[in-house]
Amino acid sequence: MREFFKNIKRMEAEVMGINERNIDFIYQYNKRSDYKLADDKCLAKEIFSAHNIPCPTTYGVITHLSEIDLVWQSVQCHQKLVIKPAKGAGGKGIMILRKEKEQWFSGSAAVSVAQIYHHVANVLFGLYSFGDNDKAIIEEFISPHSFFGDIYADGVPDFRIILLEATPLMGMLRMPTSASDGKANLHQGGLGIGIDMENGLLKTAYNGKKYMSYHPDSLQQIEGRPIPYWDQLLRMSKDVAEVFPLRYLGVDLVIDQVKGPMIMEVNVRPGLGIQLANKSGLKSTLETIKTK
């Protein structure tokens, strides 16, 4: 029993809650007027491009219903692409498309142009953006590096690194599963895999219920795998933090098979599930940086 209460006290000292995160870090270190730069992926990509930070190429942006057909016709030269809401969150509203013999597919299902237009219209109406009107971004599809395919072949995994004052604090790999339908987001059934930040090694995976050293679908080993481009990923996250006006932020990165590391987006309210993935709390780490 003594050990139980000892562990509870240790967790209270280390794990940061959502109120602490909001009050002590998001509100204190970030100006509210700058939130939109992270919340709107179009604005974020303008900052990346201005500082030559690699990110997926934008093929087109749709802001009004009347533009859908014109922009859609202009991207027909591509065989793979992604449609996403500019202000979406949690992976909602993302449609990944590939073309075979002039037929578009989303996953294994064929989709008609009318269905694609309907999806874009829903994006513009704000269906995936908390009720606000939104823009639809059509951008380059990222072909995940073989490192990810060796673990699990479906979906696009990404890395999340949380930084304060451009100092990386904690990171995790978000890996899709069959339950997440190709999405990497934890609350949609993806895995959170902790990262040994110093050595660039994967730690155990967490699926919201238990920890495991292997992928639950492929059964491939996860723990102990060295992450390719790790130093470059860390450097890129710092580059973003140094040019973005947010002092506390989460940076999401991917590794393309051909182009290497790229920035996907910036998050002004990075989730706290990263602590579970790493079996470690952010509080003490953040306080150490805060008092420097």
Domain ranges of the chain: 1-53+144-291, 58-140
Average pLDDT of 90-96?
87
Query: Mind listing the pLDDT tens digit for each residue in 164-190?
Result: 999 999 999 999 998 887 777 777 788
CATH architecture of structural domain 1-53+144-291: 2-Layer Sandwich (3.30)
The string of pLDDT tens digits covering residues 188-241 is 788 999 999 999 999 999 998 899 999 999 999 999 999 999 999 999 999 999
CB 105 within 8 A of CB 163: no
pLDDT for the residue 290: 67
Q: What is the rounded CA–CA span in Å between residue 19 and residue 136?
A: 32
Q: Tell me: the pLDDT tens digits for 238-259?
A: 999 999 999 999 999 999 999 9
CA distances from 190 to 90, 145, 157 (A): 11, 18, 9
The sign of the CA dihedral 44, 183, 200, 35 is positive
> Which is it for strands 248-256 and 211-212: parallel, antiparallel or unpaired?
unpaired
The predicted structure's pLDDT at residue 75: 97
How do strand 260-267 and strand 248-256 relate by DSSP bridges?
antiparallel
Which stretch of 44-48, 122-126, 166-170, 288-292 has the lowest confidence by average pLDDT? 288-292
Structure token pair of residue 55: 């990110």
CATH number given to 58-140:
3.30.1490
Token pair 């870090």: residue: 25
Q: Which residue has the higher pLDDT, 14 or 211?
A: 211
Helix ranges, 129-250 (H): 146-149, 230-243
